[in-house]
Amino acid sequence: MKRIRCPKCDESILFDETQYEPGRVLVFECPECHKQFKIRIPQPKPAATTEDEDDTEQTPVLGKLVVLENAFHFKQEIPLYPGENVVGRLVKGSNANAAIKTVDPSMDTTHCIITAKLLPNGTPRFTLRDAPSNTGTFLQNEILGDRDRVIISDGDIITIGATTMILRTNDDED
């Protein structure tokens, strides 16, 4: 049996998901508030091969963004991988691969991009640019232009919308 909740009144509804084929859309009516809503029976996930698992384990985390607690969300840590890390608000279908769980309306779904690169000497280098966004990207309280590319380092403060983040390049510091 599967338990779902009404999106309007949060009433719990039980149903047997094994009676329906994967991918099917079901329509429910809440017995409490009579709100009608749809859900889709999820497709089974394909079994991961050992090669795929090995690839994900070998991708190094070069740094992280520490998202500070504010009115919209609690502290989060977003890992930064080699290549482009698109930072933005987490929504279904977003292009952000470094997404922040928030309801901050001033943060775009694709707000800024942090490019992480490992230099030949083994140290990571991070470059920040605006996506461009509607409310701008700030580094140390200075707004970035649409074409600006700036190198950022450990401890730099980045603000997007009403959200403040600190770049951390190693795990020693908290």
Question: What integer pLDDT is reported at residue 173 of this predicted model?
Answer: 46
Q: What's the order of all strands across the beta sheet hosting 98-100?
A: 98-100, 83-89, 112-118, 124-130, 150-152
pLDDT at position 25: 85
Question: For the chain, which residues make up each domain, given as ranges?
Answer: 2-40, 61-168
CATH topology of domain 61-168: Tumour Suppressor Smad4 (2.60.200)
pTM above 0.85, yes or no: no
Which regions of the chain are under pLDDT 70? Answer: 44-58, 171-174
- By CB atoms closer than 10 A (0-12, 13-18, 19+), residue 62 is buried
